Structure 1
Amino acid sequence: MSEPENAGGFPRPRSGGLAPVLVSAGAILVVVAWLLVRGDDELFFGYLGGPIAMAAGTYACLRIARVRLPRPVHAFWRRMTLVGVFLLIAAVVALLRANNNTGLSLHVALPTLAGLGLLIFTFLTLPGRQTTPVALLRALLDGLTVAVASALIFWYVVFDLAPADTSMAARLVAAVVGVGGVLLLVTVGKAAAAPDTAVDGTALRVLTAAPIACVAATILMIAGDDRSRMALSVLVLPIVGTALAVSAYLQRRALQRPAAPPTPASNRSLFNLLPFVAVAATTGLVISVSAQDMNARQRTVVIGALLIAGCVVARQLLSLRENTLALRGIRHQQAELERLALSDNLTGLPNRARFTVALAERIDAAEPAAALLIDIDDFKMINDTLGPAAGDQMLFQVAQRLRAQCTAGEMPVRLGGDEFAVLLPTDDPAAAESAAGRALQALADPFTVGEQHLLVHASAGIAIAEPGATADEVLRNADIAMYAAKEAGKASWARFEPRMRQDMVNHAMLAGELRNGIARGELRLLYQPIYDLVTGRLHGAEALVRWQHPERGFVSPADFIPVAERTGLIVPLGAWVLREACSQLARWRATYGDRTVESVNVNVAVRQLREVGFVDEVAAVLSETGLSPRNLIIEVTESSVVDGWQVRETLRALHEMGVHLALDDFGTGQSSLSLLRAFPVDVLKLDKSFVDGIAEGADRGRLAVAAAVAQLAEHLQLKAVAEGIENQEQLNRLRDMGYRYGQGFFMSRPVPADDYAALMAADPVRA
Structure 2
Amino acid sequence: MSEPENAGGVARPRPGGLAPVFVSAGAILVVLAWLLVRGDDELFFGYVGGPIAMAAGAYACLRIARVRLPRPVHRFWRRMTLVGVFLLVAALVAMLRANNDTGMSLQVAVPTLAGLGLLMFTFLALPGRQKTPVALLRAVLDGLTVAVASALIFWYVVFDLAPEGTSLAARLVAAVVGVGGVLLLVIVGKAAAAPDTAVDGTALRVLTAAPVACVVTTILMIAGDDRSRMALSVLVLPIVGAALAVSAYLQRRALDQPAGQPVPASNRSLFNLLPFAAVAATAGLVISVSAQDMSGRQRTVIIGALLIAGCVVARQLLSLRENTLALRGIRRQQDELERLALSDNLTGLPNRARFTVALAERIEDDQPAAALLIDVDDFKMINDTLGPAAGDQLLFQVAQRLRAQCTAGEMPVRLGGDEFAVLLPTDDPAAAEAAAGRALQALADPFTVGEQHLLVHASAGIAIAETGATADEVLRNADIAMYAAKEAGKASWARFEPRMRQDMVNHAMLAGELRAGIARGELRLLYQPIYDLVTGRLHGAEALVRWQHPERGFVSPADFIPVAERTGLIVPLGAWVLREACAQLARWHATYGDRTVESVNVNVAVRQLREVGFVDEVAAVLSETGLRPRNLIIEVTESSVVDGWQVRETLRALHEMGVPLALDDFGTGQSSLSLLRAFPVDVLKLDKSFVDGIAEGADRGRLAVAAAVAQLAEHLQLKAVAEGIENQEQLNRLRDMGYRYGQGFFMSRPVPADDYAALMAADPVRA
Shared fold, TM over 0.5: yes
Tell me if the contact between 1:487 and 1:562 (Cα under 8 Å) persists in the aligned partners.
Answer: no
Deviation per CA, 1:438-497: give whole Å up to 9, x if none: 545555677777888877664433323233322221211222223333444445443322
Q: Is the 8 A contact 2:159 2:223 kept in 1?
A: no
Shift of 1:114: 3.7
Tell me, in whole angstroms, the C-alpha distance in 2 between the residues paired with 1:592 and 1:82. Answer: 98
Q: Post-superposition shift, 1:342?
A: 1.9
User: What displacement does 1:362 show?
Assistant: 2.7
**8 Å contact kept, 1:53–1:241:** yes
Single out whichever of 305-314 and 382-391 deviates more from structure 2: 382-391
Is 1:8–1:367's contact at 8 Å kept on the other side of the alignment?
no
CA contact (8 A) 1:381 1:611 kept: no
Cα deviation, residue 307, structure 1: 2.7
- Cα 1:656–1:119 change in 2 (3 A) is same
Identify if the C-alpha distance between structure 1 residues 2 and 571 changes in structure 2 by more than 3 Å, giving closer, same or farther: closer
Distance in 1 between the 2:15 and 2:430 partners?
A: 28
Q: 1:312 to 1:596 in 2, by over 3 A?
A: same
C-alpha distance 656-488 of structure 1, shift in aligned 2 (>3 A): farther
CA offset digits 1:509-560 (Å, max 9, x no partner) = 2222322333344333332222212222222222222333344443322222
Match in the other structure for 2:222: 222
Moved more, 337-346 or 36-45: 36-45
1:455–1:644 Cα contact (<8 Å) kept: no
Structure-1 separation of matches of 2:408 and 2:78: 32
Partner Cα distance (1:378, 1:569) in 2: 21
Q: Is the 8 A contact 2:10 2:255 kept in 1?
A: no
Q: Residue 617 of structure 1: CA displacement? A: 4.0
The Cα shift of 1:359 comes to: 1.8
Do structure 1's residue 690 and structure 2's residue 697 form an aligned pair? Answer: no
Q: Evaluate the alpha carbon distance shift between residue 640 and residue 446 of structure 1 in structure 2; reply closer, same or farther with a 3 A threshold.
A: farther
More divergent stretch after superposition (757-766 vs 379-388):
379-388
Q: 1:642 to 1:218 in 2, by over 3 A?
A: same
**What is the CA deviation profile of residues 61-86 of structure 1, one whole-angstrom value per residue up to 9, with x for unaligned ones?**
45545556555545544544444444
Q: CA 1:445 to 1:11, structure 2 compared with 1: closer, same or farther past 3 Å?
A: closer
The structure whose RCO (Cα within 8 Å, separation 6+) is larger is 2
1:525-604 equivalences in 2 (<5 Å): 525-589=525-589, 592-604=592-604
How far 1:155 moved relative to its partner? 0.7
Question: Which range moved further: 254-263 or 284-293?
Answer: 254-263
CA apart distance, 1:704: 4.7
- The CA deviation string for residues 104-155 of structure 1, in whole angstroms up to 9 with x for no partner, is 5445444433433333333333467873344233222221221111111101
Counterparts in 2 of 1:663 and 1:440: CA distance versus 1, 3 Å:
farther
Given that 1:639 and 1:670 are in contact with CA atoms closer than 8 Å, whether structure 2 keeps it comes out as no
Most deviating of 576-585 and 1-10: 1-10
Would the aligned equivalents of 2:267 and 2:324 in 1 still touch at CA under 8 Å? no
**Residues 436 and 608 of structure 1: is their aligned pair in 2 closer, same or farther, counting only changes over 3 Å?**
farther
Residue by residue over 1:47-68, the C-alpha shift from the partner in whole angstroms, topping out at 9 and shown as x without a partner, is: 4444444444444445545556
Cα 1:438–1:233 change in 2 (3 A) is closer
Residue aligning to 2:141: 141
- Of 495-504 and 221-230, deviating more is 221-230
C-alpha separation in 1, matches of 2:739 and 2:131: 84
Tell me the distance in 1 between the aligned counterparts of 2:66 and 2:641.
64
Structure 1's unaligned 5+ residue stretches are none
1:184, CA displacement in angstroms? 2.0
1:383-410 superposed Cα distances (whole Å, 9 cap, x missing partner): 7788766665554454444434444433
Check conservation: 1:8, 1:366, Cα contact below 8 A. Answer: no
Greater displacement, 176-185 / 653-662: 653-662
Q: Which moved more, 1:678-687 or 1:43-52?
A: 43-52
Q: Is the 8 A contact 2:667 2:687 kept in 1?
A: yes
CA, structure 1 residues 661+332, in 2 after alignment: closer, same or farther (shift >3 Å)? Answer: same
| Structure 1 residues 636 and 142, CA gap change in structure 2 (3 angstroms) | same
User: Aligned runs of 1:346-745 on 2, under 5 Å?
Assistant: 346-377=346-377, 395-440=395-440, 458-589=458-589, 592-622=592-622, 625-644=625-644, 646-670=646-670, 672-695=672-695, 702-745=702-745
Alpha-carbon spacing, 1:425–1:763, altered in 2? closer, same or farther (3 Å): farther
Task: Report the Cα offset of residue 95 of structure 1.
Answer: 4.2
The 1-side partners of 2:104 and 2:691 are apart by: 106
Shift of 1:289: 0.9
Could you tell which deviates more after superposition, 413-422 or 399-408? Answer: 399-408
Contact kept in structure 2, 1:93 and 1:107, CA below 8 Å: yes
The Cα of 1:765 is off from its aligned counterpart by 0.7
TM superposition shift of 1:676: 3.8
Deviates more, 1:6-15 or 1:590-599: 6-15
**How big is the shift at 1:156?**
0.8
Which whole-Å deviations, capped at 9, do the CAs of 1:666-688 have from their partners, x for residues lacking one? Answer: 34443654444454433222333
Could you say if the C-alpha distance between residues 45 and 693 of structure 1 is closer, same or farther in structure 2, counting changes exceeding 3 Å?
A: closer
* 2: CA distance, partners of 1:452 / 1:658: 35
Where does the alignment leave 5 or more consecutive residues of structure 2 unmatched?
none
Matches of 1:230 and 1:215 in 2, distance apart?
A: 15
- What does the per-residue CA deviation read over 1:704-734, in whole Å, with 9 as the maximum and x for residues that have no partner? 5444433443344332222233444443343
Q: Which whole-Å deviations, capped at 9, do the CAs of 1:269-292 have from their partners, x for residues lacking one?
A: 533332222222112211111122
Distance 2:135 2:364 in 1: 29
Count of residue pairs the alignment pairs up:
767
* Contact kept in structure 2, 1:384 and 1:612, CA below 8 Å: no
2-structure distance, mates of 1:294, 1:595: 133
**8 A Cα contact 1:76 1:127, kept in partner:** no
**Partner SS, residue 760 of structure 1:** helix
Offset of residue 632 of structure 1: 2.9
SS of the residue 1:314 aligns to: helix
| Gap change, CA 1:394 and 1:570, over 3 Å in 2 | farther
CA distance in 1, matches of 2:45, 2:478: 68
Alpha-carbon shift at residue 198 of structure 1 (Å):
3.8
Measured at CA, do residues 433 and 160 of structure 1 come closer, stay the same or move farther in structure 2, by a change above 3 Å? closer
- Once residues 252 and 456 of structure 1 are traced to their aligned partners in structure 2, the CA distance between those partners, rounded to angstroms, is 40
Tell me the distance in 2 between the aligned counterparts of 1:761 and 1:416: 58
Provide Cα deviations, 1:143-171, integer angstroms capped at 9, x if missing partner: 12211111111011244222333222222
For 1:315 and 1:393, locate their aligned partners in 2 and report how far apart those are by CA, in whole Å.
55
Q: Distance in 2 between matches of 1:247 and 1:386?
A: 55
C-alpha distance 304-356 of structure 1, shift in aligned 2 (>3 A) = same
Note closer, same or farther for the CA distance 1:316–1:647 as it changes in structure 2 (3 Å cut). Answer: same
Q: Is the Cα contact below 8 Å between 2:109 and 2:177 reproduced in 1?
A: yes
What is the aligned partner in structure 2 of residue 102 from structure 1? Answer: 102
Cα gap change, 1:384 to 1:518, in 2 (>3 Å): farther
In 1, distance between residues paired with 2:57 and 2:489? 63
Contact 1:73 1:127 in 2 (8 A): no
Go from structure 1 to structure 2 and tell me whether the alpha carbon gap of 1:45 and 1:629 turns closer, same or farther (over 3 Å shift).
Answer: same
Deviation at 1:694, TM superposition (A): 4.5
Could you list the per-position Cα deviations for residues 558-601 of structure 1 after superposition, in whole angstroms to 9, with x for gaps in the alignment? 22211111112222322333333334434544554433322222
Per the alignment, in what secondary structure is the counterpart of residue 491 of structure 2?
A: coil
Aligned with 2:692: secondary structure? helix
- C-alpha RMSD of matched pairs (Å): 3.5
Bigger shift: residues 186-195 or 546-555: 546-555
* Contact 2:153 2:282 (8 Å CA) reproduced: yes
Q: Distance in 1 between matches of 2:192 and 2:174?
A: 26
CA–CA distance in structure 2, aligned partners of residues 259 and 468 of structure 1:
25
Q: 1:628 to 1:213 in 2, by over 3 A?
A: same
* Alignment CA distance shift 1:173-1:441 (3 Å): closer
In 2, Cα distance between equivalents of 1:732 and 1:31: 102
Change (3 A) 1:234 1:300: same
Q: Residues of 2 paired with 1:748 and 1:763: CA distance?
A: 15
Residue by residue over 1:223-278, the C-alpha shift from the partner in whole angstroms, topping out at 9 and shown as x without a partner, is 33333333333333333333233333333433455555543335255333322222
Q: Within 2, Cα distance between the matches of 1:296 and 1:426? A: 75
- With normalisation by structure 2, the TM-score equals 0.89
SS in 1 for 2:99: helix
Q: Is the aligned partner of 1:168 residue 2:168?
A: yes
Structure 1 Cα separation of the partners of residues 445 and 3 of structure 2: 46
Maintained 8 Å contact 1:127/1:199: no
| TM-score using structure 1 length | 0.89
Which whole-Å CA distance do the structure 2 matches of 1:89 and 1:538 have between them?
A: 102
